[in-house]
Structure 1
């Protein structure tokens, strides 16, 4: 993967203006490499973890906020395109990408 070209789709970029908070949000990101393989992870801000825990305490979800789980969760200080691109590039360069992202099945996430 190191040296392969890729593109990044970020879910929140499809939302209406004003529906996104880069310091208190979460979003999926899909990386597509030139070999057509696609990989997904979910980015959560540190603040969003607290927001979700507080919400779950009130709604009763996740045993009233006693746990929080997300597949392929990556915690970041902000959920901006710049930060997500920076983290993905770091994962690729360090060789951690395939550990941090899950490969998408053929035909999924379309």
Structure 2
């Protein structure tokens, strides 16, 4: 998989409003040549704090007592460049398939 060409789709790039690269989250899909698609959600560290505060106010997740997300990747900033660097690193060190989830039909 390391040398297989792929493309990266970032949900936030489809939003009408700009996202906050320091305090946001977005789904990311990696499509490999040959058809397999893998998904993960990128969160900024700050976004976890912001979501915990929101949950405390709304009552979700036991009033902010916990937070969870499947296929979660924490990053300092959410930019295309930062996301692509993380993906390349995960592919290079062999952990991509442990972090991203294979999207099945």
2:103 aligns to what? 104
- Aligned partners of 1:2, 1:88: CA distance in 2, in Å? 10
Q: Which residue of 2 aligns with 1:84?
A: 83
Write out aligned runs for 1:37-48 (5 A).
37-48=36-47
* Residue 68 of structure 1 pairs with residue 74 of structure 2: no
TM-score by length of 2: 0.98
Instruction: Give runs of ≥4 in structure 1 deviating > 4 Å.
Output: none
Could you list the per-position Cα deviations for residues 15-53 of structure 1 after superposition, in whole angstroms to 9, with x for gaps in the alignment? 1133x1000000000000001000000000000000000
| Count of residues paired in the alignment | 105
Partner of 2:3: 3
How high is the TM-score relative to the length of structure 1?
0.94
Unaligned residue ranges in structure 1 (runs of 5+):
none
When the two chains are superposed, the root-mean-square deviation of aligned CA atoms in Å is 0.6
CA distance in 1 between counterparts of 2:80 and 2:68 reads 23
**Could you list the runs of 5+ residues in structure 2 that have no partner in the other structure?**
none
